[in-house]
Chains A and B, each alone.
Chain A
Amino acid sequence: MRIQVNARNRGYEFEARPDERVLHAGLRAGIALPYECATGTCGTCKATLVGGTVADGWAGAPGKKLVKPERREFLMCQCAASADLTLEVDKFVHAAEAGACTPDSCSVVLRAPRQIAPDVMAFSVQLEQPRDFDAGQFVLLAPLAMTGYRAYSMCNFERGARRLDFVVKRKPDGGFSEWLFGANREGERLSMFGPLGSATFDPMLAKNVLCIAGGSGIAGMMSILARAWRERYFERWRGWVFFGVRTMRDTFFLDELSSFQREFPERVQITVALSDEDVPASAARDWPALGFERGLVHEVTERVMTGKYHDVRAYVAGPPPCVDAAIRVLLLKAKLTTNNIRYDKYS
């Protein structure tokens, strides 16, 4: 199927596989079509159909609240072409940046699922072909028996990776999380599309790095830290990590975070923010490399970071209200410019 996209600056043409989402086909062709969640919730991938017909993969997608069907608008991340298409995207659309990792689909095998906190499961997927991705990116995953992709951020970093690591927070009645928590899924096949996302870190950045994570939002930060560690980034630059959870019981990755901190004790500061309980006395004893504070993660960030925002790039990930609150601090208190605020809303 041939797809013609007219954007505000120019037009593009690309080919889609049968049943392939319009967004995936465009991204695969190296065209940076707009998206954010890539999973039907945010509405960012909205386009207008000028010619042809699309098959909607998810009629109930929450992102549709921004879509006006009477104006033939649709979500490119959920719809596939059922004939040649002409569509309009009301944005400037550029070719993907040189050196960006081009996403594609493939089939992967789930490995080593393990519970690492009462509501958090870690697992890996094994790839047949090595894949490149950038630190901070995510992929879409779907068990073969389930409709609809879910987005999960990689925790590891490696060029030519054959294994991707993830953490998933359990969502009551959530399709993917209940599937994962419900039984041992070792060896299950999933389809994958990726890598995606622009909240990426590259050592060429040459700035101090501030990571703010709500809950499983720490996933992408682990990938960023892994890359920074590998390249000895924190020998020159400062790093701050804020990891927000409800209580000590909900923490995970504290061993890994402690090792990062000990590697660069002068320049890296890691703070765990507990929103629902006072910091227990045992925390500082058990995790001497980490700081602990009571409060929501954006509040704790604001307290600790005052006066330290010089030359900073911030990464934010987690539930949307947490990300919005942190962005508010970064704009109003830190006075960061928007190109130095990179975020993923786990919507």
Chain B
Amino acid sequence: MARRVVCRAADVPENGLKEVEIEGGLKLLVANAGGEFFGFQATCPHQDVPLCEGVFDGSTLTCHMHLWQWDVRTGAPLGLAEAPLQKYSLAVEGDSLYLAGAATALDVGEIFNGIASATLDELAGLARSETFPPGTVLYRPGDAAEDFFVLDAGRVEFLVGRGERTTPGGFMLKKGEVFGWAALLDGYPARIASARCLEESRLLRINGKAALGVLERDPAAGFIVMRRLAALIARYLASSGAQ
């Protein structure tokens, strides 16, 4: 496919933002961070607000509506943000920017994004992309937690409890979100919830032990992933015990 022109580099002011619509109708936000260019989804993942109206200091991007923030180098959520930004790699050639490709679900995700690309490639090598019809039960309480999943497209629902006495345990919407992460924890081998596809869903399935093996060989990445995982678990725990 012919490479798609995004805009001229000079159109994006230094430490500034610009929204562009490229051939094919895709809208992108281009950020100029001290002469380096980064491409993102044009609207806030919270509520379709244009991110070009946001506040950008050259490294952190803030949506002005509810102050969600992202690291402009990775699209990783900071502060209040509950979701990462979909990132698009841009290539500079001459005075123009080109779209070099969209990030994979793994790269977008809140757990893996920003780790060394060789490690990310290894993890991607472990991932099997699978598509499930609506209604598929991916796992049930008590099942062995061998694999974790990254949502690429679709919707998954979680139920806590068994049989009649189930309560919804939340749902998952954003591309790149990880679930079934018990597979990444030692000595925590069984599922405590059930996961079911509400729509046709495309998932990356990754074996937890194999992923831990990759992360052991790159402890810097392993540390980032474990810290993010701890933050994620803390966020879910913050609300348990309520009701």
Binding site for B on A (CB under 8 A): 4, 6-13, 30-31, 36, 42-44, 46, 66, 88, 90-95, 324, 327-328, 331-332, 337-339, 341
Contact = CB atoms under 8 A, between A and B. Distances in A.
Given A95-B239, A327-B67, A11 B47 contact: no
A341 B80 CA distance: 11
Contacts of B66: 36, 44
Nearest to B243: A12
B40 to A, nearest CB: 18
A331 B170 contact: no
Nearest to B171: A6
A341 B63 CA distance: 13
10 contacts: A7-B170, A7-B171, A8-B171, A8-B172, A8-B173, A9-B238, A11-B168, A43-B47, A66-B49, A338-B69
Given A36-B66, A92-B235, A327-B55, A6 B168 contact: yes
Nearest to B159: A11
Contacts of A31: 242
Interface in B50-99: 55, 57, 62, 64-67, 69, 79-80, 82
B239 A338 contact: no
Interface in B199-243: 235-236, 238-243
A88 B173 CA distance: 11
B239 A92 contact: yes
A8 B64 contact: no
Nearest to B236: A9
A94 B168 CA distance: 14
B45 to A, nearest CB: 9
A76 B98 CA distance: 42
B79 to A, nearest CB: 5
Contact of B64 (A10, A13, A324): A324
Interface residues of B, number: 32
A11 B242 contact: no
A327 B57 CA distance: 13
B179 to A, nearest CB: 11
Which secondary structure dominates where chain A touches chain B?
A: mixed
A11 B158 CA distance: 9
B55 A10 contact: no
Interface string B155-193: 001001000000111111100000000000000000000
B23 interface: no
A9 B235 contact: yes
Given A8-B172, A9-B235, A11-B170, A91 B82 contact: yes
A217 to B, nearest CB: 17
Contact of B57 (A10, A11, A93, A332): A332
A7 B65 CA distance: 20
Contacts of B239: 9-10, 92-95
A93 B79 CA distance: 16
Nearest to B48: A66
A9 B48 contact: no
Contact of A8 (B62, B79, B80, B170): B170
A44 B47 contact: yes
A58 B157 CA distance: 31
